[in-house]
Amino acid sequence: MHRIKVVNDISELVPVLRAVDTPVKLKLVQRLADAWLTSEDVEQEFGKEGAKALNFFEKLKLIDTRWVAREGRKAPDKSYHFYYSTININTTAPLQEVSEILAIASMNPKDYEKLEKRIYDAVGEAGRFFSDVAEELGMSPTRLKGLVKRSDKLEYRGHRIERFHAPASS
């Protein structure tokens, strides 16, 4: 099936760019475009970095899932496949916002982790409204959106930012 990921908001570029920012992620995206793989398959072929990338893709809703029965096993295994075959980028934004998003997507991991931790701590266990977090941290909405969309520890749920908890694999 041919599915198109439409990017209408400039902050959506961050996860698209981060989905292929390492050789492991790029190879995993290519494998998931061609075949259905279980988390066990991914970990065997790509190691822990691949398993972490798989969780990140699931958080970003870039992969599709289905249950498959395997010979010699009582319970089915959850398998994954890349959801989109095409990406359509259709957005207009001020140069300042585009620059900020590209800077966030390519930010040094150590610098990013400091900002992610500030947001993670500000959100707390219960999560908080996006605008309250932006105001408290003195960040523009575009900057905060980009930082959260890059994160594998944070996610949007409606108008709230919450800590991300990966769904169980089996």
pLDDT at site 169: 52
Full pLDDT tens readout for the chain, 170 residues: 678 888 899 998 998 888 888 999 999 999 999 999 999 999 999 999 999 999 889 888 889 999 988 888 888 889 999 988 888 888 899 999 999 999 999 999 999 999 999 999 999 999 999 999 999 999 999 999 999 999 989 998 889 999 988 665 54
Other residues' Cβ atoms within 10 Å of the Cβ of residue 15: 22
For the domain spanning 4-89, the CATH number is: 1.10.10.10
Fold of 95-163: Arc Repressor Mutant, subunit A (1.10.10)
Both tokens of 149, joined, read 């969309």
Given a contact cutoff of 8 angstroms between Cβ atoms, the answer to whether 36 and 79 are in contact is: yes
So where are the chain's domains?
A: 4-89, 95-163
What DSSP letter does each residue of 52-110 carry, written as one string?
HHHHHHHHTT-EEEEEE--TT-SS-EEEEEE--SEEEE-----HHHHHHHHHHHT--HH
State how far Cα 124 lies from the chain centre.
20
Whole-model pTM: value is 0.78
* Helix 141-150, helix 109-123: angle, nearest 10: 100
Q: Which residues, including other chains, have CB under 8 Å from residue 7's CB and lie 6 or more apart?
A: 13, 16, 87, 88, 89, 90, 91
Given a contact cutoff of 8 angstroms between Cβ atoms, the answer to whether 58 and 80 are in contact is: yes
Residue 66, classified by CB atoms within 10 Å of its CB into exposed (0-12), middle (13-18) or buried (19+), is exposed
